[in-house]
Amino acid sequence: MTHTWTVVDGLIRELEAIRRVAPRVSAYEHSRAALDHAIRDAAEAIDFTIDAPESHERLTAARNALGVCEEMIIALDVQTSRGLRARHRGDALRTKALDLLDGARAAAPHRAG
């Protein structure tokens, strides 16, 4: 259960990173509007994960929506996107570390309290 909420928390943190980076992106008005719309779509997709944090479909939809935002930022501003990629790599490594720790806990013999 804790792992489930960790995944949702990771999605929220990724959205926060995108929202921090987005204002620095150099873009024309119509491109900025498209990026803002994609960010709203990602926020809505993440909201749907709150109701069903174990739903593979909802988690995938949220990840995909965030991916669209990231790709738009990369396409619009290569310099700004570097920081976003570094953040994404850190999140991916953190998720892997948590998975390894969960596996180790599951494999460890239970102690009597």
The 10s digit of each residue's pLDDT in 25-39 is 888 888 899 999 999
More confidently predicted of 74 and 37:
37
pLDDT confidence bin for 49, thresholds 50/70/90: very high
Secondary structure letter of residue 1 according to DSSP: -
Is residue 31 within 8 A of residue 74, CB to CB? The reply is no
pLDDT at 24 over 90: no
Q: Tokens 């929202």 label which residue?
A: 19
Average pLDDT over residues 5-27: 91
Is 14 domain-assigned? yes
Domain that holds residue 77: 2-104
> How many angstroms separate the CA atoms of 85 and 74, rounded?
9
pLDDT at 113 over 50: no
> How many angstroms separate the CA atoms of 59 and 4, rounded?
10
Is 109 domain-assigned? no
pLDDT more than 90, % of the chain: 45
Is 86 domain-assigned? yes
**Residue 60: per-residue pLDDT:** 94
Is 70 domain-assigned? yes
Is 67 domain-assigned? yes
**Residue 87: per-residue pLDDT:** 65
Number of domains in the chain: 1
Is 74 domain-assigned? yes
Strand, helix or coil at 19?
A: helix
pTM of the predicted model as reported, rounded to 2 decimal places = 0.68
Is 110 domain-assigned? no
Q: Tokens 């960010």 label which residue?
A: 39
Strand, helix or coil at 46?
A: helix
Is 59 domain-assigned? yes
Average pLDDT over residues 3-13: 89
